[in-house]
Amino acid sequence: MAILVKKFGGSSVATPEKIHGIVDRVLKEKQPEDKVVIVVSAMGDSTDDLLTLAGRVNPDMPKRELDMLLATGEQVTIALMAGAFCAKGQPAVSFTGAQAGIKTNDKYSKASIIDVEAGRVKQALDEGKVVIVAGFQGITEGGDITTLGRGGSDTTAVAVAAGLKADMCDIYTDVDGVYTADPRIVPNAKKLDEITFAEMLELARLGAGVMQPRAVEYGEHNGVAIHVRSTFHEVPGTIIRGEYTVQEKKFVIRGVAHDTNVAKLAARGVPDEPGVAYKIFAALADANVDVDMIVQSASVQQNKNDILFTVAKTDMAEALGVLEKLKAEMPFDKVDLEVNVAKVSIVGAGMLGSPGIAAGMFGALAGAGINIGVISTSEISISCLVPAEDVTKAVNAIHAHFFPQEAEH
Amino acid sequence: MAILVKKFGGSSVATPEKIHGIVDRVLKEKQPEDKVVIVVSAMGDSTDDLLTLAGRVNPDMPKRELDMLLATGEQVTIALMAGAFCAKGQPAVSFTGAQAGIKTNDKYSKASIIDVEAGRVKQALDEGKVVIVAGFQGITEGGDITTLGRGGSDTTAVAVAAGLKADMCDIYTDVDGVYTADPRIVPNAKKLDEITFAEMLELARLGAGVMQPRAVEYGEHNGVAIHVRSTFHEVPGTIIRGEYTVQEKKFVIRGVAHDTNVAKLAARGVPDEPGVAYKIFAALADANVDVDMIVQSASVQQNKNDILFTVAKTDMAEALGVLEKLKAEMPFDKVDLEVNVAKVSIVGAGMLGSPGIAAGMFGALAGAGINIGVISTSEISISCLVPAEDVTKAVNAIHAHFFPQEAEH
């Protein structure tokens, strides 16, 4: 007997016909003794439709009420999918996040799961039912409905799998798995059979959008392996887990990520005094601006420095405001903003013990004639800022260097 | 300080603009110290849209899952309406049926309210918030979502009013109140200022569709007066309560009702023996057929009788099946079905002590040249079956007889 938790996204359940398609596939793969939990998102664009409706009523909708509204999207899907299983003769029951015991804090619109009380789900499974759980939503201790924010259904699925002590959680998506680079820009990118939680988190942080980091973290903390696989093709995908089970032909680097949602800001000519960097980044933190890469360098003027950093484009207006204010207060000379930049990164847990990795990356970029702006490193990644128009060329050059045999296929 | 419970139906909240219209009206009428609870239905046709969707997935949708699905309709409205109040600067909070403490039995799709735990609603009112409650839905002891069936939002509103010990529950509807007859067919029908629960229930049972009987019963059992009034006109409507507060110019008859959803069946030539009627009506009850008027008369053949009765048109196929089966078993001669009939009725708690009421009704029908089929009476009503094509003429003739001064206006 296996406990199987499977998550299907909104595009997989966009119509009654697609819902029946999922049901058929699940029933075909299900062994008689398997206990199956399905976690689903809202149908197709229905969440966007609800957001549009909310905007017409109140452009500044209270977040509690927005969660109350959005939670209906998944509730529609679960009822329909349970009905679809029953239509095929398979007993099934739907549970809202609250009924499935998904307890969250009260940070509406981006709540975190604090516990999963899986009693009702277990009981229904023991009664031989397929259980359909609404993704993306939970309930506070006070009984208020919350949503988990972007990618929340993945987190629900992993949390339910953890609550049921399932060994694996299947996340069905529109890609076949995790690739060594985005296959849309690197045609010969290779699908990975396995990747570690740490590598996957680093790839996600650096722009590889396959899985939301929170679901991966939840899997890591609860020891639930995550199988990222295709809704459309019945082939194995990529399993995210704590350690490799198979020694694949070992690559030090597991993936090349890129991110174009980057803006570079610079405070030029700041005083060369203690506490200046602290002042700048404390002010940015107070404004809830998430700073990524940071470089400080000597200014062309004596006793002055330039401080450069990158933020997400969505934060750049806020960051600009903070800098302009500091420029007058501190004072310093000038604020620069550059939006035509992108970040390319390599990720691999093996790079720590392998010299020459950074040199290999810089060499690949140099060979492609690409100028490197800022460089930053973590234990398992190296990132370079490059001109936005060079991002495809940069990713391909790096990928060809670290995955040379793939280029020949 | 007053506790005000106001219910608005689906057509009143069909669009964001209409929702804002309701909010404006409520805020205009609200005194600063008033505690206001709004009960709402699903927006416009959204319940029908959900039913269509369900039909595409499973034409025989499990009732629990159908309730799970339909409950989303009201949940959308409450979130939007709470958002609309907040947009106008009035703190507000939405509650699902479960959150509002509407406890029901588990008769999915037509659940009955067994208790209202109004603690959360009270607390939110004490915090100065307008509370928006999802009508039509509740929750079982086991935590499953139920719906209350047709007219369920009215019942929710009256139940919440009872739970809060409110003196009055306002039901906003597309008519101005309860009339002495349907104004669409009797142009000079008069709006009643007051009517008793018993009279209202009898009118509803006899086809006057203003209020669902269950909401009226809930009001009667809990001593909550119900004010039926217009969404569109800011004028007083009709108050349904236990006893009249004002001695209006006293009419023995309070209203004339009619019902065209009637079919007449006859079992002709049944044996004139004890137990025959029992056999027929027990079989109908077993088939869940609700029988209304019943007449037994001697057949043209010796030692045989004819048994006539009426049912709702929706039940007539079922009833016909039962009779055809009994015809062979019993046996009797023949089954007749007549669908071109309608029932006209007069209702008034005062008729018991007033002789000549029945004669007045029959005389009015005779004067209009209308043939009476079956007659039945209750303590506070008299009903006659008439040809369907005569129903408008019949109602007008009876109304003119019992409300003569109205004809002069």
Residue-wise pLDDT tens digits, B359-395: 999 999 999 999 998 898 888 999 999 999 999 999 9
Q: What is the pLDDT of residue A251?
A: 66
| Cross-chain CB nearest to B58 (options A58, A61, A84) | A84
Over residues A231-282, the pLDDT tens digits come to: 888 899 999 999 888 765 566 899 999 999 999 999 999 998 888 999 999 9
Say if residue A219 is exposed, middle or buried (CB neighbours under 10 Å; 0-12, 13-18, 19+): buried
- The answer to whether A134 faces chain B, any CB pair under 8 Å, is no
- Give the minimum alpha-carbon distance from A79 to chain B in angstroms, rounded to a whole number: 5
- Give the minimum alpha-carbon distance from A365 to chain B in angstroms, rounded to a whole number: 52
- Give the minimum alpha-carbon distance from B16 to chain A in angstroms, rounded to a whole number: 5
Burial per residue of A171-209, b for 16 or more beta-carbon CB atoms within 10 angstroms, e otherwise: bbbebbbbbbbbeebbebbbbbebbbbbbbbbbbbbbbe
Name the CA dihedral angle for A182, A185, A189, A192, rounded to a multiple of 10 degrees: 10
- The answer to whether A106 faces chain B, any CB pair under 8 Å, is no
The lowest-confidence range among A387-391, B124-128, B184-188, B209-213 is B209-213
Contacts of A117 in chain B (CB under 8 A): none
Q: Between A and B, how many CB-CB pairs are < 8 A?
A: 113
Question: In the structure encoding, which two tokens stand for residue A328, read together?
Answer: 């007058």
Is A54 in contact with B83 (Cβ distance < 8 A)? yes
Q: What is the pLDDT of residue B346?
A: 95
- Give the minimum alpha-carbon distance from A394 to chain B in angstroms, rounded to a whole number: 47
Number of other residues whose CB lies within 10 A of the CB of residue A389: 12
- The answer to whether B83 faces chain A, any CB pair under 8 Å, is yes
Which one has a higher pLDDT value, B295 or A197? A197
Over residues B90-123, the pLDDT tens digits come to: 999 999 999 999 999 999 999 999 999 999 999 9
Which one has a higher pLDDT value, A66 or A2? A66
Over residues B279-301, the pLDDT tens digits come to: 999 999 999 898 999 988 887 78
- Give the minimum alpha-carbon distance from B79 to chain A in angstroms, rounded to a whole number: 5
- Give the minimum alpha-carbon distance from A171 to chain B in angstroms, rounded to a whole number: 23
Q: What is the pLDDT of residue A406?
A: 46
Scan residues 203-232 of B and list those with Cβ closer than 8 Å to A: none
The lowest-confidence range among A12-16, A188-192, A297-301, B213-217 is A297-301
Over residues B306-364, the pLDDT tens digits come to: 999 999 998 999 999 999 999 999 999 999 999 999 999 999 988 877 888 999 999 99
Name the CA dihedral angle for A169, A175, A177, A181, rounded to a multiple of 10 degrees: -140
Question: How close are the terminal C-alpha atoms of chain A, in Å?
Answer: 40
Among B58, B60, B61, the residue to mutate for chain A (most A Cβ within 10 A): B58
Which runs of E-coded beta strand occur in A234-302? 238-241, 255-259, 263-271, 291-298
pTM: 0.85
- The answer to whether A56 faces chain B, any CB pair under 8 Å, is yes
Rounded distance, CA A285 to CA A138, Å?
29
- The answer to whether A51 faces chain B, any CB pair under 8 Å, is no
Is A68 in contact with B53 (Cβ distance < 8 A)? no
Is A68 in contact with B94 (Cβ distance < 8 A)? yes
- The answer to whether B69 faces chain A, any CB pair under 8 Å, is yes
Q: What is the pLDDT of residue A248?
A: 56
B180: left (phi over 0), alpha (psi -120 to 50) or beta: alpha
Percentage of chain B exceeding pLDDT 70: 97
Is A75 in contact with B94 (Cβ distance < 8 A)? no
| Cross-chain CB nearest to B72 (options A65, A75, A93) | A75
Please answer whether residues B268 and B335 qualify as being in contact, where contact means their C-beta atoms are separated by less than 8 angstroms: yes
- The answer to whether B330 faces chain A, any CB pair under 8 Å, is no
Is A60 in contact with B87 (Cβ distance < 8 A)? yes
Is A58 in contact with B144 (Cβ distance < 8 A)? no
- The answer to whether A82 faces chain B, any CB pair under 8 Å, is yes
Q: What is the mean pLDDT of residues A314-336?
A: 93
Is B83 in contact with A71 (Cβ distance < 8 A)? no
Residue B344 DSSP SS3: strand
Q: What is the pLDDT of residue B210?
A: 80
Mean pLDDT of chain B: 92
Is B54 in contact with A79 (Cβ distance < 8 A)? yes
pLDDT band, residue A350 (cuts 50/70/90): confident
Is A79 in contact with B58 (Cβ distance < 8 A)? no
Please answer whether residues A69 and A54 qualify as being in contact, where contact means their C-beta atoms are separated by less than 8 angstroms: yes
Q: What is the pLDDT of residue B246?
A: 75
Q: What is the pLDDT of residue B409?
A: 39
- The answer to whether A18 faces chain B, any CB pair under 8 Å, is no
The lowest-confidence range among A145-154, B241-250, B261-270, B340-349 is B241-250
Instruction: Say whether pLDDT at A40 is over 80.
Output: yes
- The answer to whether A145 faces chain B, any CB pair under 8 Å, is yes
Residue B347 DSSP SS3: strand
Over residues B169-204, the pLDDT tens digits come to: 999 998 899 999 999 999 999 999 999 999 999 998
pLDDT band, residue A408 (cuts 50/70/90): very low
pLDDT band, residue A16 (cuts 50/70/90): very high
| 3-state helix, strand and coil shares in percent for chain A, rounded to the nearest 5 | 40, 25, 35
Residue A274 is classified by DSSP as T
